[in-house]
Amino acid sequence: MVAGHHHPEDSGARSAWFTTTHWSVVLTAGQADSGASQAALEKLCRTYWTPIYAYARRRNYQPADAQDLTQEFFARFLSKNYIKTVQPGRGKFRAFLLTALQHFLANEWDKTQAAKRGGGKYHLPLDELSAEHLYQMMAASERPPEEIYDRSWAWAVLEQVRERLRAEYAAGGKDHRFDQWMRFLPGEASALSYAETGRQLGLTEEAVRSEVYRLRKRYRELLRQEIAQTVAMPGEVDEEVRYLINVLSRTI
């Protein structure tokens, strides 16, 4: 499972870095229109559409209706700029978005029904097949919609981390080996030992061990960065990482 151990950092550098994360950019934009905050918000929404879809499916919406609902929710969320109702210090984007979704379902969706897909000003690309596959994996547990939402959120965060890690390996010309290294990431179960992997790749066991150490270290760093995009204060990062670990530790 993902590791949440906190490595000491320079507080000044950490604070400076944190002010550029997506949720912080959105929050500090306040009531003024901001291109930077809009771009940051759209990035966050792209990460979160899978949890929104899973929540809708758990609320007994059929796949096509859940797709329409997800697209319409984000279209209204972005065009109406719900973010103006949030004040700095209000906490985590994960919780804020779920509250907004529940309000949307209770007060707007049933009145308007499904908007024509793709007809709004904002359109977020939805990978319906992947979202439905993930939902079906979790649906047999009979968990309530809120837990399905949290679990989908956790997997979405980890997918973002893996994609960033894969991009870094590709930039370094090592993407052809990334799938082999990925088997050693937290949460994966590799059937091969370091020595066996080394024989496959033409490396020594010690070289494999060193590469896996660097991989896991970078994975933890990217996980913390990805989580930091979605919380209001630096001190909430560790708490949110622990929450993610707890969510993924629950039996499906």
pLDDT tens for each residue of 240-251? 999 999 998 875
pTM of the predicted protein model: 0.76
**Spatial contact of 51 and 156, defined as CB atoms under 8 Å apart:** yes
What's the 3-state SS for the chain?
CCCCCCCCCCHHHHHHHHCCCHHHHHHHCCCCCCHHHHHHHHHHHHHHHHHHHHHHHHCCCCHHHHHHHHHHHHHHHHHCCHHHHCCCCCCCHHHHHHHHHHHHHHHHHHHHCCCCCCCCCCCCCCCHHHHHHHHHHHHCCCCCHHHHHHHHHHHHHHHHHHHHHHHHHHHCCCHHHHHHHHCCCCCCCCCCCHHHHHHHHCCCHHHHHHHHHHHHHHHHHHHHHHHHCCCCCCCHHHHHHHHHHHHHHCCC
pLDDT tens digit sequence for 103-156 = 888 887 766 654 444 444 555 555 555 666 666 566 656 678 899 899 889 988
The number of C-alpha atoms within 13 Å of 55 and in the hemisphere containing its C-beta is: 22
In one-letter notation, the amino acid at residue 44 is L
pLDDT tens digit sequence for 150-201 = 988 998 899 889 999 999 989 988 877 888 888 888 767 666 788 988 898 8
By C-alpha distance, which of 73, 223, 224 is closest to 161? 223
Average pLDDT of every residue of the chain: 78
